[in-house]
DNA sequence: TATAAAATACCGACCAGTTGGTATGTTATG
DNA sequence: CATAACATACCAACTGGTCGGTATTTTATA
C-alpha cells in the first residue's frame, strides 16, 4: 500500500550485514565493510541507518520475521493430533536447515553471546525473541501433554532441549562443515519424543 | 620440573583474556583492554605473547585442558556397566556447569562461530578440539551399544546431540540468566537415554 | 500543467578515538 | 653483567560517526 518503495539499497545493506554478522559476529562487522560490500559510501549508509546498532536491530528483526513466516502455516494449521503437529514442526525444521544459508548460524545466538555484556539494548531484543520462541514451544508441548495425559512429560525441558539442540547443532555444523549434524540430532530428538509418547506412563501410578 | 616458573603476569593475562573472550568474543577483545585489566602495559603484554592470536590459542588450549582435567577421573575409572559411566559423566557435567564461571560460555563455540571465516588457524584449533570431544563421546556410546546389544542406538547422533545440547544450553543460560536450563536439558537427556536402554529393542527382530 | 518547494538518496572529505603492533628504552634479578 | 620482565612512546590502519553538499524524485501550488 503506502510503504511499497523499500529502497533496494537498504535491502542490499541488510543482506550484506546479515552475511557479515553470521560469519564474524556483530562487533567484528565494521560499517566500512558493509559499505564496501553493498557498494555504497559512508554517507549513504548513515542515511539509511542512524547508527550501527540500528542496523543490527534491523537485521535481527528480519531474521526473526523470516523464521516466523516460514513456520506460519504449520503453527496455524489444524492437526488431528498434537503429536502430528509437533512432528510436522520438526520435519519442517529438518528440511529448512538443509539450506546452507540458514545453517550458517543463528542471529539470536550471535547477539546473545556477543553483546550480553556490551550492548544491553540489542541483547534485550534477542533475549525477547528467545523468550518468545521458548514460550511458543512450551505451549505446544503443554497441549501434547494434556491431550495424551502424559504426566511425565516436562514441556519446559523438551522446549529448552529443542532450542539448545538446534543452536548447538548449528555450531557443530559450522565446525565440521557438515550440515547433516542438524538432521541427525533432529531425527534423534523426534525419535525420542515418539518413544516417550508411545511409552506407557511409568511414573506414579496410584 | 623445567617449566615451573609460570610468570604470574602471564597467568593474569590468560585469566583476564579468558573472561573478556567469554563475554565479548575474540575479535571484540582488544589487547588494550587485556593490558588495562591485567594491570600491564602494551610492551609488557607483547613480551609474553608474540601477538593477539597467540594469546587466543593459549586461552583456548587452557580452556580445553581444564575441561579434560575435570573429566579425567571419570573417563579413566572402571565402571561395572557402561551406562553407569555415561550417567556419571552426565551427572558430573550437571554439577560442573552450576559454576557460574563455566556457565558463561564455551570457548570452542566462540572461536568456531567467530573465526571460521577470518582466522583459519584459530578456527582449526577449536575444530580439532570439537572433533576430539565428539570422537571420545562416540566411543563411549559405541561401548554402551555393544555391551547392551542396542542395535537401535545411534552413537554418533547421541554424541552430537550431547555436544549440541550443551552448547545450546549455554546460550540459553546466558540469554535467560538462568543456569538451571543446563540442568534441565541434561536431566531430560539422561532420562531419555535411560528410557532407550531400558526399552526392549523394538527394531528389526528376525 | 508548468513550476516552485521540499523531501529523498546519496557522495566524499573529515574527525577523534581505537586497533594491533613495534622500537627503544629502563629496571630488577640470577 | 646478561637476561628476563617490564615501561614509554609511537605508528599506520581502521573504528563509528559527522558534515556540507548535490543530484534526483516527489509533492504542492498557481
Total residues belonging to chain B: 206
Strand C–CB A120 distance below 7 A? no
pLDDT at A202 over 80: no
Run of H or E residues at B139: helix B120-148
pLDDT above 70 for B61: yes
Q: What is the DSSP letter of A129?
A: H
- In whole angstroms, what is the distance from residue B33 CA to residue A171 CA? 27
State the span(s) of chain B assigned CATH 1.10.357.10: 57-198
Question: Confidence class of residue A199 from pLDDT cuts 50, 70 and 90?
Answer: confident
The answer to whether B201 touches B152, Cβ cutoff 8 Å, is yes
Separation between the CA of A118 and the C1’ of D11 (whole angstroms): 29
- State the average pLDDT over residues A174-197: 97
Cβ atoms of residues B174 and B92 within 8 Å:
no
Instruction: Provide, for chain A, the percentages of residues in helix, strand and coil under a 3-state DSSP scheme, each rounded to the nearest 5.
Output: 75, 0, 25
Q: Is the pLDDT of residue A206 over 90?
A: no
Percentage of the residues of chain B whose pLDDT score is greater than 70:
93
**Chain A residues touching residue B118 (CB < 8 angstroms):** 23-24, 28
Exposed e or buried b for every residue in A157-175, given b needs 16+ CB within 10 A? bbbbbbbbbbbbbbbbbbb
Residue B199 is predicted with a pLDDT of 78
* Chain B: residue whose CA lies nearest to A187: B157
Helices vs strands, H then E, count in chain B: 9, 0
Average pLDDT, chain B: 93
All CATH 1.10.10.60 domain ranges in chain A, comma separated = 1-50
Mean pLDDT value across residues A96-114? 97
Mean per-residue pLDDT for A118-147?
97
- Residue B159 CA to residue B136 CA, distance in Å, equals 9
Least confident of A20-29, A64-73, B5-14: B5-14
Task: Report the alpha-carbon distance of residue B206 to residue A101 in Å, rounded.
Answer: 43
What average pLDDT does chain A have? 93
pLDDT of residue A201: 58
Q: Which residue of A has its CA nearest to B169?
A: A164
Contact B164 A171 (CB under 8 A): yes
Contact A127 B175 (CB under 8 A): yes
**In angstroms, rounded to a whole number, what is the distance separating the alpha carbons of residues A69 and B35?**
46
Instruction: Write out the E strands in chain A.
Output: none
Q: What is the 3-state secondary structure (H, E, C) of B75-135?
A: HHCCCCCHHHHHHHHHHHHHHHCCCCCHHHCCHHHHHHHHHCCCCHHHHHHHHHHHHHHHH
- Mean per-residue pLDDT for A123-131? 98
Model pLDDT for residues B116-128, shown as the tens digit of each residue? 999 999 999 999 9
The dihedral through the CA atoms of A171, A172, A178, A180 has a sign that is: negative
pLDDT tens-digit series, residues A50-70: 999 999 999 999 999 999 999
pLDDT of residue B7: 66
Backbone Cα Rg of chain B: 20
Whose CA is closest to A48, among A19, A11, A21, A3?
A: A11
In whole angstroms, give the CA distance from residue A201 to residue A150: 7
Output B103 or A7, whichever has higher pLDDT: B103
Does residue B175 contact residue A124 with C-beta atoms inside 8 Å? no
* C-alpha distance from A33 to closest chain B C-alpha (Å): 13
CA-to-CA distance for A140 and A86, rounded, in angstroms? 7
What pLDDT, in 10s, does the model give residues B66-79?
999 999 999 999 99
pLDDT value, residue B200: 62
Q: What is the pTM of this model?
A: 0.94
CA dihedral B54, B125, B8, B98 (to 10 degrees): 140
Helix ranges (DSSP H) in A49-119: 52-76, 82-96, 107-115
| Digit-coded pLDDT (tens) for B175-203 | 999 999 999 999 999 999 999 999 765 54
Mean pLDDT in residue range B100-104: 96
Q: Is B113's CB within 8 Å of A110's CB?
A: yes
Q: Which nucleotides in chain C lie closer than 7 A to a protein CB?
A: 8-14, 18-25
Given this structure, which CATH class describes domain B57-198? mainly alpha
d(CA A29, CA B151) in angstroms, rounded, equals 47
A151 touches strand C (CB under 7 A): no
* B41 or A202, higher pLDDT: B41
Average pLDDT of the residues in A118-131: 98
pLDDT tens track for B12-34: 999 999 999 999 999 999 999 99
Query: Nearest Cα to A107, choosing from A196, A24, A5, A32?
Result: A24
What local confidence, expressed as pLDDT, does residue B203 receive? 47
Separation CA B141–CA B134 (nearest Å): 11
| pLDDT value of residue B33 | 96
- How far A19 CA lies from chain B's nearest CA (Å)? 11
Across residues A178-187, what is the average pLDDT? 97
Residue A163 has its nearest CB partner, among B109, B127, B168, at B168
Instruction: Note the pLDDT tens digit of each residue in B31-54.
Output: 999 999 999 999 999 999 999 999
Domain B1-50 CATH assignment equals 1.10.10.60: yes
Among A4-18, B38-52, B145-159, where is mean pLDDT lowest?
A4-18
Question: CA A192 to CA B120: how far, in whole Å?
Answer: 37
Q: Do A156 and B185 touch (CB under 8 A)?
A: no
Question: In the predicted model, what is the mean pLDDT of residues A37-55?
Answer: 96
Cβ B160–A117 below 8 Å, yes or no?
no
The whole-number pLDDT of residue A203 equals: 47
Residue B6 has pLDDT above 60, yes or no: no
* CB contact at 8 A, B34 and B49: no
Higher model confidence: residue A31 or residue A202?
A: A31
CA–CA gap between residue A12 and residue A15 (Å, rounded): 5
Mean pLDDT on A99-103: 96
What's the average model confidence in pLDDT over A18-36?
Answer: 97
Tell which residue, B162, B164, B160, B158, has the closest CA to residue B197.
B158
Distances (CA, A) of B185 to A89, A137, A174, B3, B118: 20, 14, 22, 41, 33
Nucleotides of strand D within 7 Å of the protein's CB atoms: 4-10, 14-21, 26
User: What is the reported pLDDT for A4?
Assistant: 29
B151 vs A contacts (CB less than 8 Å): none
How many other C-beta atoms can be found within 10 angstroms of the C-beta atom of residue A187?
Answer: 17
Between chains, do A108 and B169 touch, taking CB under 8 Å as contact? Answer: no
Least confident window among A160-164, A186-190, B1-5: B1-5
Chain B positions touching A110 (Cβ under 8 A) are 113
- Chain B: residue nearest A183 by CA? B157
Size of interface A-B (CB pairs under 8 A): 162
From A12's Cα to the closest Cα of chain B, the distance in A is 21
For chain A, helix (H) and strand (E) counts, in that order, are: 9, 0
A112, pLDDT greater than 50: yes
Query: CA geometry: angle at B95 spanning B187 and B113, to 5°?
Result: 80
Task: Flag if A168 and B172 touch (Cβ within 8 Å).
Answer: no
Amino acid at each position: 500500500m503506502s510503504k511499497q518503495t523499500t529502497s533496494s539499497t537498504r535491502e542490499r545493506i541488510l543482506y550484506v550485514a546479515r552475511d557479515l554478522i553470521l560469519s564474524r559476529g556483530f562487533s567484528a562487522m565494521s560499517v566500512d565493510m558493509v559499505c564496501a560490500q553493498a557498494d555504497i559510501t559512508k554517507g549513504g549508509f548513515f542515511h539509511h541507518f542512524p547508527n550501527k546498532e540500528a542496523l543490527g536491530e534491523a537485521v535481527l528483526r528480519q531474521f526473526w520475521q523470516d523464521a516466523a513466516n516460514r513456520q506460519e502455516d504449520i503453527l496455524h494449521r489444524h492437526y488431528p493430533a498434537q503429536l502430528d503437529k509437533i512432528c510436522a514442526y520438526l520435519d519442517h525444521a529438518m528440511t529448512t536447515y538443509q539450506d546452507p544459508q540458514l545453517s550458517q548460524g543463528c542471529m539470536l545466538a550471535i547477539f546473545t553471546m556477543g553483546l550480553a555484556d556490551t550492548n544491553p539494548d540489542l541483547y534485550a531484543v534477542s533475549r525477547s525473541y528467545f523468550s518468545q520462541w521458548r514460550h511458543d514451544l512450551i505451549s505446544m508441548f503443554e497441549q501434547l501433554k494434556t491431550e495424551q495425559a502424559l504426566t511425565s512429560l516436562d514441556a519446559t525441558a523438551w522446549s529448552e532441549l529443542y532450542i539448545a539442540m538446534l543452536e548447538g547443532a548449528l555450531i557443530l555444523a559450522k565446525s565440521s562443515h557438515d550440515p547433516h549434524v542438524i538432521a541427525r540430532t533432529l531425527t534423534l530428538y523426534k525419535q525420542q519424543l515418539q518413544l516417550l509418547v508411545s511409552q506407557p506412563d511409568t511414573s506414579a501410578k496410584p
